[in-house]
Amino acid sequence: MDKLLLHKLEKKLKSIRIEAFVVHKGSTRIFEYVKNKKVVEKPAKVYSITKSIVSLLIGIMVDQGLIKNIHEPIQNYFPEIAESNDPKKKEITIFHLLTMTSGLQVRDIQGSKNWVKFILEQPVIYNPGSTFQYNSGDSHLLSAIIQQVSGMPTALFAEKYLFGPLGINQYNWLTDPQGIHGGGFSISLKFEDMVKIGLLLLNEGRFNSKQVVSSDWILQARRPYKHLDTTEEDTYGYGYQLWTYENMNIHPPIEYYYANGLFGQYIFVVPQLNILAVAKSHLQNDQQSAPRIFFEELLGSWMEEE
């Protein structure tokens, strides 16, 4: 890649509160900006990237046969729904949780004494599968399912089948009042461990020589099941707890997908170019999308070179 282009990127990164930003071509790091060593030494909150990690754990459970069918109703796991008088609640499936289309009314769960009970008590305001609502409730129910099916806390399941194989040894994962690890926003990771998650996605579930999660799951997870924001030029969508982007009006077209957390945490994956980029930030308000804008500018220039 043009060195001048990367130099311009570094100047932009330094101008705002982006703490670390790296770009990989395959396993090779071709660009690195780190504000100082301190920002990469300690685990920091990745916020909603937690959701994407939970999706990977569900994929591992499907691979292991612990979950037979993501289209099964979640009443199989939550007797509260089976006992409910609302027939629409009985239609909600694991797939609906993954794609954030459960239809349950979205409420802030953090102030409640029992998060799962509180989420399940909400009325169904949209037919399950019909309407995307970005929320942490659906994601937290996925974590509750992981704990119930595996018979161990979600974090312990992650240590055994995801974090362990990736060499992620230092993390924090907060729990709800019942001890269920938060599915929506509760993980803290080191920056280089965010990169490992990205490499796993880029390599379709492989890390080093080990298939950690099936390529089939990654291919399903990165598909847009709902198109959320469409303009003349581009379309943003949502897969299994992952955002998607496509621009078909340029040649060649650009497609990528990404995990995103509050204050500008990003893991971008571009399969067609074998590209990965990861950003750790502390950005407020409108600036939170800056890493994505910088990445798209970089990608646009790269596509022209291709």
pLDDT > 70? residue 162: yes
Question: What is the pLDDT, as a whole number, of residue 297?
Answer: 87
Reported confidence tier of residue 28, pLDDT bands at 50, 70, 90: very high
Over pLDDT 90: what percentage of the chain? Answer: 82
Reported confidence tier of residue 70, pLDDT bands at 50, 70, 90: very high
**What domains appear along the chain, each with residue ranges and CATH number?**
3-305 (3.40.710.10)
Reported confidence tier of residue 304, pLDDT bands at 50, 70, 90: low
pLDDT > 90? residue 116: yes
Overall average pLDDT of the 60-68 stretch: 98
pLDDT > 60? residue 306: no
pLDDT > 70? residue 185: yes
The 3-state secondary structure of the chain reads CCHHHHHHHHHHHHHCCEEEEEEEECCEEEEEEECCCHHHHCCEECCCHHHHHHHHHHHHHHHCCCCCCCCCEHHHCCHHHHCCCCCCHHHCEHHHHHCCCCCECCCCCCCCCCHHHHHHHCCECCCCCCCCCCCCHHHHHHHHHHHHHHCCCHHHHHHHHHHHHHCCCCEEECECCCCCECCCCCEEECHHHHHHHHHHHHCCCEECCEECCCHHHHHHHCCCCEEEEECCCCEEEECCCCEEEEECCCCCCEEEEEEEECCCEEEEEEHHHCEEEEEEECCCHHHHHHHHHHHHHHHHHHHHHC
Tell me the whole-structure pTM to 2 decimals. 0.96
Give the residue, 28 or 227, on which the prediction is more confident. 28
Over pLDDT 70: what percentage of the chain? Answer: 98
Residue-wise pLDDT tens digits, 233-279: 789 999 999 999 998 777 778 899 999 999 999 999 999 999 999 99
